[in-house]
Amino acid sequence: MRKRSASAVLSALVLALFFLISAGCADNSAPDDIETTSAEATTESDTAVKVEMSSETQSVSLEEETIEVAEETTTEADLPQTIPEIVDIFNKSANRIKPEATKVVKNYEKRIVDKSKLVVPKALESTAETMIDTFMKDDTEPIVYATREEIKTEYIVPNQSYVSKLKASDVEKATCTDKGNEYVIYIKLKDETNPIAGKGVGSVCDVIETAEVAEKASFIEKFTTDYYDCDVEVTIDKATGRVTHARYKTPLVLSVTVNMFGTHDAAIGLTFIKDYTITY
């Protein structure tokens, strides 16, 4: 089983603390329906090619695909125009990172808590917010991965030989912008509930898998992750076709039902933003 990311560990820790405190609470009402909000719209330059996926173009094979590594360089004439074309270029370039990069720097990781989606017993709201502020701090100091094993283990998707198995059917919107010597590819993913590594949101982002959390905490009766407005943006060098910069954003809502001295409900909204620089 793959190792959980630091983001997953922190999230589970915060929730576990909620559960332990909630267990001693006599009055704990069920949460209202959780609302999700749209992420800020991404503005592209006039040269951006914006593509909305129609139902007619969403059909792709569900079989496992072999990860391809692009050997050729990308020229202006090759600027992708459709979602399948953009995903193809993205996959080929991204999957060169682990076998070819000599160094990957995680510039920062932001952990944003949406307190409007926090669901805990009323009497514990203040305590819960204090714990969130304590345990969900950002990583502001750069972290350098300088060996092949470190890059494979720590870079997205963690502990896998690939970086992306993304399919066109996983994508809501994609753009490719010509920036002179570089291309910038932006991909917005379709919303997904309980994603797993290697598929959907989990094919290109680090996700918290429900099975891993439930396995570690027998008192969890129900655990749900709702990922929404997730996106990825990469910069690709035209001359080499290699990714030089990547930014991943994964907003989600964690919803939990705990069976411990009664049934208790908890929920929290989180957004993880990870920013990387890649050198070869």
DSSP 3-state of 175 = strand
Q: What pLDDT is recorded for position 167?
A: 98
Among residues 168, 18, 152, the alpha carbon closest in space to that of 91 is found at: 168
Q: Judge whether 218 and 240 are in contact, CB under 8 Å.
A: no
Residue 170 has pLDDT above 50, yes or no: yes
pTM: 0.74
Q: What pLDDT is recorded for position 216?
A: 67
Kindly report which listed range (75-89, 148-162, 187-201, 237-251) carries the lowest average pLDDT score: 75-89
What's the whole-number mean pLDDT along residues 146-156?
A: 96
Sequence-separated (6 or more) residues with CB below 8 Å from residue 127: 21
pLDDT, one tens digit per residue, over 65-98 is: 444 444 444 455 568 889 999 999 999 999 999 9
Q: What pLDDT is recorded for position 276?
A: 98
Average pLDDT, the chain: 78
What's the whole-number mean pLDDT along residues 14-28?
A: 47
Which residue type does 166 have?
L
Among residues 16, 21, 23, the alpha carbon closest in space to that of 261 is found at: 23
What's the whole-number mean pLDDT along residues 191-202?
A: 96
Among residues 222, 219, 198, 201, the alpha carbon closest in space to that of 210 is found at: 222
Q: Judge whether 31 and 119 are in contact, CB under 8 Å.
A: yes
Q: What pLDDT is recorded for position 249?
A: 98
CA 141 to chain centre: 20
Which residue in the block uniquely carries the two structure tokens 């094919």? Answer: 203
* Confidence band of 124 (pLDDT split at 50, 70, 90): low
pLDDT, one tens digit per residue, over 253-277 is: 988 887 767 777 888 899 999 999 9
Q: What pLDDT is recorded for position 28?
A: 40
What's the whole-number mean pLDDT along residues 52-66?
A: 40
Report the percent of the chain where pLDDT is more than 90. Answer: 50
What's the whole-number mean pLDDT along residues 216-226?
A: 81
